Amino acid sequence: MLLRIDHVGVACHNLEEKIEFYESVFGLTVVSREVNEEQGVREAMLHVADGDQGASYVQLLEPLHPDTAVGRFLAKRGEGVHHIGYGVADVTRALEEIGAKGVRLIDERPRHGSMGASIAFLHPKDVGGVLTELVETSRR
């Protein structure tokens, strides 16, 4: 079901500063920038590597407002890993299969994600404390 680690989502206070850090320290390149009003974030996707099942990224997330999910995360925990995104072939089918196994779904159906992907989140309390995102890419 899970094809690869699609991305690691990292919450940050200042997107531009974190982009500079990841570019200068790790040599990563920004391949996409978006503002996602629905999720309340300004984000950048930085390319890490390509694999047989698709690419992997670091996703930097800056909240648009303190009362967003990422804003609350930063206030409570500070900067750091916010979630892990796993690539799947069919996010709708993955939701059905995972939900049938008793894992609580934050999203009952897919929604718009970065770079045109279809995404859905699983409840972290049912996934070992890790906010988990399922990602069906649109042929990045």
pLDDT surpassing 60 at residue 5:
yes
* Span 66-77, pLDDT tens digits: 999 999 999 999
The whole-angstrom separation of Cα 39 and Cα 22 is 23
* Span 9-58, pLDDT tens digits: 999 999 999 999 999 999 999 999 999 998 999 999 999 999 988 899 99
Going by DSSP bridges, is the β-strand pair 2-11/54-63 parallel, antiparallel, or unpaired?
A: parallel
- Where residue 108 sits, what CATH number does that domain have? 3.10.180.10
The whole-angstrom separation of Cα 32 and Cα 35 is 10
Domain that holds residue 32: 4-136
Q: For position 53, what pLDDT does the model report?
A: 87
> Across residues 79-89, what is the average pLDDT?
98
Q: For position 139, what pLDDT does the model report?
A: 60
DSSP letter assigned to residue 77: H
Per the structure, the count of domains in the chain is: 1
Q: pLDDT band at 64, cuts 50/70/90?
A: very high
Q: Which of 84, 70, 90 is nearest to 1 (CA)?
A: 90
